[in-house]
Structure 1
Amino acid sequence: MKEQNSIPTSKVARATQFVKTGVKIGGNYLKYNVKKIIDSETTKDELHQDNASDIYSSLSEMKGSALKVTQMLSMDKGMLPRAYREKFAMSQYSAPPLSGPLVVKTFKKYFGKSPQEMFDTFGMNAANAASIGQVHKATKDGKEFAVKVQYPGVSESIGSDLKMIRPIAIAMFGLNDKDVDRYMGEVAEKLIEETDYNLELKRSVEISEACSHIKGLFFPKYYPEFSCDKILTMDWLEGLHLNEFLNTNPSQEVRNSIGQLLWDFYDFQIHTLKQVHADPHPGNFLMRQDGTLGVIDFGCIKVIPAFFYDNYFALINFDTLEDHERTVEIFKTLDFITAVDSEQEAEFFTKLFKEMIYLLGKPFATDEFDFADDNYFESVYQYAEKLQNLDELKNAKVARGSQHGLYINRTYFGLYSILNELRAKVVTTRPEWLCAVGA
């Protein structure tokens, strides 16, 4: 893969990159319209392919929050045409890497030494490259390490990037442009946290130790002496990312084992730790043929406020939804229904969000759920499309739903998506009080 020798870091340079991308997309639409005139049966497939390639090419050069958005979009299967999802999925662990000199420059800036001076060996070619940083393999005293190096200028460009990709973010989260600031603030906060490798090291140690009792999960050890704000060093773990793993044609037993580990991992974090690894894309997991699972990235952690937890998961208990007054009370607390709603609007949105919760909470309504059920996922995608096209949502005076739900919903959507690709059947463990079974 071709390496990058520089990253646009100034506001002007990054804005110019966005403009260039817009010009390319305009050209793609012009080409499509001309072909459509010549042949009325021309489809948008080629247009989507061209746009996806141009957008990914541009954002992958910019790295940081711009590329992170494509990573998040690739997880939203119901949001984008296939061409975009497949291209954007590359941002999870296959973005163009930085060149060696820039990596050395980062080491010398923070440690005053080159990586070759700190390790016995250091692979200058990145093993993996994603949105915030890239990983290099190193050795010292017979041990193998994964060394994550952050791209230059990532943290400094988050604010300006989010302003420029605001329309994408609005579409991605289904928000109303009039009331988007608190949601964008949540996204910005998480992106800023992801660029703080000292914070990631602390959280990685805490959460991996707290989850170490889950048999079959494995985590790397972290090394503060080889880490800093922009460089994070951990054990090198062997395993395969999801697509590589599926290409080995694993048995159903192994698929189920890994799926169960994923479910149990998230169940424990959410319901016991009240903080969760909120970036469940395939690049953050390593799968093995013995049915074990490695977790390698704790950059994005969502701490769940008590009031949000109590109300959000009360709704997953379908008994709550049968209590109309209690449901309306929770909907108001979580901003699904607002003080400015008319009686008709409140009734409409109460019915709408009840339907959504029954659908998305279906895995909780049985002791075991088969995530290979494509009919279920198709119904979810169709419902998402329905929501996007509802005039009542598009023309709403306010955005709906607590900002705390952004990353919790994304966590479950990402988890469901991986389990679906694994074709895993999972025992849906959950707290005793969350007894939606038989609803």
Structure 2
Amino acid sequence: MKEQTNIPTGKVERAGKFVTTGLKVGTNYLKHYSKKLMNPSLSKEELHADNAEDIYETLSNLKGSALKVAQMLSMDKGMLPKAYTNRFAMSQYSAPPLSGPLVINTFVKTLGKTPNQLYDKFNMQASNAASIGQVHKAEKWNKALAVKIQYPGVANSVKSDLRIVKPFAIRIVGMNEVDMDKYFDEIEGKLLEETDYQLELKRSIEASAQCAHIPNLVFPAYYPELSSDRIITMDWLQGFHLKEFLEHNPSQEIRNAIGQALWDFYQFQVHALKRVHADPHPGNFLMREDGTVAVFDFGCIKEIPEDFYINYFLLTNKEVLKDEVRRKEIYTNLEMIHPSDTEKEIVFFSGLFQKMIDLLTLPFTVDSFDFGDEMYFSEIYDYVDYLYNLKEVRESKVARGSRHSLYINRTYFGLYSILNDLKANINTSQARIQSMIHI
């Protein structure tokens, strides 16, 4: 893969890249509609593919928050045309890497020495490159190490990048720009945390220790003396990213073991710790053929407020939701319905949300669940598609859902997606969850 010798860091330069991309996208639309005059049956697939390619090329070269938004969108399979999700998924672990001189410069600036002065061996060629940083393999103390290096200018460009990328995200997803600030404020806060490698190092050490008892999970050791505000050094762990792992045709037993480990990992964090690894994309896990899974990258952690937690998980209790007054109270607390709603709007949106809740909480209401059930996921995606095309939803004057739901929903959606790809059949019983909490 071609390396990058520089990353645009100035606001004007980064904004200029988006203007150029906007012109390309506009040209793609003109080309599409010109072809459609000749062939009225032409679908939008080619248009989506061209737009996805042009937008991804810009985001992958800008790195940082811009690319991170693409990564987040790639996980929402029911939200975007397939061409976008497929292309944006590349941001999870295969964006263009930085060149050697930029890597050395980061070491000298933050640790005062070159990689060759700090490690016995250091591979200048990146093993993986994603949105916020890239990973190199090194050796020291007769150990294989993974060294994560943050891209230059990432932290300083978060605010300006989000202002630039917001219209793109809204246009791609098809939302109106109504009351969206609370969500983008949440995203901005999380992205700023992700650029704080000292905070990530602290959280990684804490979370690894707290979750070490969960069967079939493996965590790296971290090395503060070889880390800085833009570098994190940890053990190099063996394993495969999800796509590679599945190419090895693992047995159902191994798929189930890994799926169960991931389910337990997330339930323990959410219910016992009230904070969760909120970046569950395949690039943050390594699957292994012995049924274990390695977990790393605790840069994105969502703290769960107690009142939100209580109301959110009442949604999994069918008996509570049968009480119409109680249900309305929960929906209001979670900002799914608003005090300004008319009675007609309350009835309408409550019905829509109840159907989605019934679908998404199904695994919590049974003792075991087969995440390989494609009909289940098709029903979810079809219903999401139906919601996004409803006039009443698209023209709603308020954004529905607490800001806290953004990363919690994303966490569960990402987990479900990985379990679906694994075709894992696992124990999802309340008894299992309670046992994880009280270990």
Tell me the TM-score normalized by structure 1. Answer: 0.96
Q: CA deviation at 1:387?
A: 1.4
Per-residue displacement from partner, 1:247-285 (whole Å, max 9, x unpaired)? 001111111111111101001000101100000000000
Contact 2:9 / 2:153 at 8 angstroms: preserved in 1?
Answer: yes
1:255 aligns with 2:241: no
Contact 1:4 / 1:98 at 8 angstroms: preserved in 2?
Answer: yes
Query: What does residue range 343-382 of structure 1 map to in structure 2 within 5 Å?
Result: 343-382=343-382
Instruction: State the distance in 2 between where 1:353 and 1:10 align.
Output: 43
Instruction: State the distance in 2 between where 1:175 and 1:117 align.
Output: 51
Q: CA deviation at 1:228?
A: 1.0
SS of residue matched to 1:165:
helix
Instruction: State the distance in 1 between where 2:198 and 2:172 align.
Output: 29
Aligned partner of 2:127: which letter? Answer: A
Q: Which residue of 2 aligns with 1:12?
A: 12
Q: Which residue of 1 aligns with 2:104?
A: 104
Q: Which residue of 2 aligns with 1:387?
A: 387
Q: CA deviation at 1:433?
A: 9.5
How many residues align structurally? 434
Q: CA deviation at 1:175?
A: 5.8
Instruction: State the distance in 1 between where 2:241 and 2:341 align.
Output: 46
Instruction: State the distance in 2 between where 1:84 and 1:401 align.
Output: 25
Contact 2:60 / 2:67 at 8 angstroms: preserved in 1?
Answer: yes
Contact 2:204 / 2:298 at 8 angstroms: preserved in 1?
Answer: yes
Q: Which residue of 1 aligns with 2:324?
A: 324
Instruction: State the distance in 2 between where 1:28 and 1:42 align.
Output: 14
Contact 1:337 / 1:400 at 8 angstroms: preserved in 2?
Answer: yes
Contact 1:73 / 1:172 at 8 angstroms: preserved in 2?
Answer: no
SS of residue matched to 1:404:
helix
Name stretches of at least 5 consecutive residues in structure 1 with no aligned partner: 435-439
SS of residue matched to 1:316:
coil
Query: What does residue range 52-71 of structure 1 map to in structure 2 within 5 Å?
Result: 52-71=52-71
Aligned partner of 1:200: which letter? Answer: E
Q: CA deviation at 1:36?
A: 1.6
Q: Which residue of 1 aligns with 2:39?
A: 39
Q: Which residue of 2 aligns with 1:82?
A: 82
SS of residue matched to 1:78:
coil
Instruction: State the distance in 2 between where 1:65 and 1:54 align.
Output: 17
SS of residue matched to 2:233:
strand
Instruction: State the distance in 2 between where 1:170 and 1:43 align.
Output: 22
Instruction: State the distance in 2 between where 1:400 and 1:433 align.
Output: 29
Aligned partner of 2:85: which letter? Answer: R
Per-residue displacement from partner, 1:410-432 (whole Å, max 9, x unpaired)? 00000000000111101104468
Instruction: State the distance in 1 between where 2:178 and 2:68 align.
Output: 24
Q: Which residue of 1 aligns with 2:147?
A: 147
1:241 aligns with 2:236: no
Instruction: State the distance in 2 between where 1:187 and 1:431 align.
Output: 34
Instruction: State the distance in 2 between where 1:270 and 1:227 align.
Output: 28
Q: CA deviation at 1:350?
A: 1.5
Q: CA deviation at 1:112?
A: 1.3
Instruction: State the distance in 1 between where 2:128 and 2:430 align.
Output: 34
Contact 1:132 / 1:195 at 8 angstroms: preserved in 2?
Answer: yes
Contact 1:176 / 1:398 at 8 angstroms: preserved in 2?
Answer: no
SS of residue matched to 1:139:
strand
Q: Which residue of 1 aligns with 2:194?
A: 194
Per-residue displacement from partner, 1:358-386 (whole Å, max 9, x unpaired)? 11111112111101111110110111111
1:292 aligns with 2:282: no
Contact 2:178 / 2:397 at 8 angstroms: preserved in 1?
Answer: yes
Aligned partner of 1:315: which letter? Answer: L
Query: For residues 132 and 433 of structure 1, do their structure 2 counterparts lie closer, same or farther at Cα, with a shift above 3 Å needed?
Result: closer
SS of residue matched to 1:327:
helix
1:121 aligns with 2:121: yes
SS of residue matched to 1:179:
coil
Contact 1:126 / 1:136 at 8 angstroms: preserved in 2?
Answer: yes
SS of residue matched to 2:369:
strand
Contact 2:366 / 2:429 at 8 angstroms: preserved in 1?
Answer: no
Contact 2:11 / 2:160 at 8 angstroms: preserved in 1?
Answer: yes
Query: For residues 56 and 172 of structure 1, do their structure 2 counterparts lie closer, same or farther at Cα, with a shift above 3 Å needed?
Result: closer
Aligned partner of 2:191: which letter? Answer: L
Q: Which residue of 1 aligns with 2:165?
A: 165
Instruction: State the distance in 2 between where 1:46 and 1:186 align.
Output: 34
Q: CA deviation at 1:173?
A: 7.5
Q: CA deviation at 1:43?
A: 2.4
Contact 2:79 / 2:173 at 8 angstroms: preserved in 1?
Answer: no
Aligned partner of 1:250: which letter? Answer: P
Contact 1:226 / 1:233 at 8 angstroms: preserved in 2?
Answer: yes
Instruction: State the distance in 1 between where 2:133 and 2:50 align.
Output: 26
Aligned partner of 1:264: which letter? Answer: D
Aligned-residue sequence identity (percent) comes to 61
Q: CA deviation at 1:45?
A: 2.1
The 4+ residue runs of structure 1 with deviation greater than 3 A are 168-176, 429-434
Name stretches of at least 5 consecutive residues in structure 2 with no aligned partner: 435-439
